[in-house]
Structure 1
Amino acid sequence: MINDEYFLAALRLAAGSDPIPGHVSAAARDLFRLRVPSAVTAVPAECAATRGVRGAEGPQMVRFVAAGLTFDLEVTVGDGLIDVAGQVCPAPVDGTLVEVRTPHLTLSRRLAHGGHFAVTGLPPGWLSVVCHRPGHAPIQTRWVRIRP
């Protein structure tokens, strides 16, 4: 048997008469600001060459692949902060920019000749990398959560 109060609450929600709580709207706006328009999303890929090489205390290796590019990220946690050393392969053309993003901070780096970049001192939590190549759509990694 259905409880009348739950049934009426469900009808109000379906009819749109219950307002959306403020914290839910604020969280949705924050997430919308994190999107990269027209970006291709790179998905996690097996990193066979480094599987089992790193211990639990050492750097974590993460690989993402999309649109002919591979992102290899080495994530190190120390003193409560995150350091990211990465490489984009094949090495993109001059003028390529990489953004290492957290929900509250974005740090930009020009890629070195071999496609290398590094960012230090990030807060723990969610992390994504976006590659901006001249004349191409941006490619972003999925968001990953890094814990100390």
Structure 2
Amino acid sequence: MMDDEYFLAAIRLATGQDPIPGHVSAAAREAFALRVPHAVTALPTGYTPARGVRGSEWPQLVRFVTDGLTFDLEVTIGDGLLDVAGQICPPPGEGCHVDVRTPHLTLTRHLAPTGHFAATGLPPGWLSVVCHRPGRAPIQTRWVRVRP
């Protein structure tokens, strides 16, 4: 059985009488600003804890895969900040770069001929990597949350 207050609140929402809270609208705008138009999303295939380290959860290894590209990321935490070492296979070639992103910070790195890159000093939390290739759609990893 539905109580009267819940029912009246539902009617107010349906008729537009109850505005969306400002913080909800702001969060939606921030999330929309993080999108990469026309990007293909690489999906995670799994997390692997570090080998040979007892009781340690670091570094974390994660692989993202999409048609034609694989992202291997190794994330470590030191002094409360994230360091990311990565490789894209096969190497996407000349003129390519990656953006290592958090919701509030983006670090752009040029890829080595082997597809390797690194970014240090990122805040913990949400993380994504975007590979930009001249003349082709960007490839982005799905956002992952990294906590110390």
TM-score normalised by the shorter chain: which range applies? over 0.9
Residue 144 of structure 1 aligns to which amino acid in structure 2?
A: V
Number of residue-to-residue matches in the alignment: 146
The answer as to 2:68 corresponding to 1:65 is: no
Map of 1:38 onto structure 2: 38
Judge conservation of contact 1:60–1:74 (CA < 8 Å) in 2: yes
Q: Distance in 2 between matches of 1:24 and 1:94?
A: 42
Residue 51 of structure 2 aligns to which amino acid in structure 1?
A: V
Q: Distance in 1 between matches of 2:50 and 2:100?
A: 26
Q: TM-score, normalised by structure 1?
A: 0.93
Residue 15 of structure 1 aligns to which amino acid in structure 2?
A: T
Q: Distance in 2 between matches of 1:41 and 1:26?
A: 24
The answer as to 2:146 corresponding to 1:141 is: no
Q: TM-score, normalised by structure 2?
A: 0.93
Q: Superposed, which structure 2 residues align to 1:1-148 within 5 Å?
A: 1-46=1-46, 53=51, 55=53, 56-148=56-148
Pairwise CA RMSD: 1.5
SS at match of 1:17: coil
* Cα separation, partners in 2 of 1:57 and 1:45, compared to 1, 3 Å: closer
Question: How many Å apart are 1:15 and its aligned residue?
Answer: 1.7
SS at match of 1:58: coil
Q: What percent of counterpart residues are identical?
A: 73
* Cα separation, partners in 2 of 1:61 and 1:108, compared to 1, 3 Å: same
* Cα separation, partners in 2 of 1:30 and 1:63, compared to 1, 3 Å: same
Question: How many Å apart are 1:51 and its aligned residue?
Answer: 6.2
Question: How many Å apart are 1:3 and its aligned residue?
Answer: 1.6
Residue 141 of structure 1 aligns to which amino acid in structure 2?
A: T
Q: Deviations over 1:26-57 (max 9, x none)?
A: 1011101111011111101147xx66626324
Q: Distance in 2 between matches of 1:145 and 1:90?
A: 25
Q: Which has the higher strand share?
A: 2
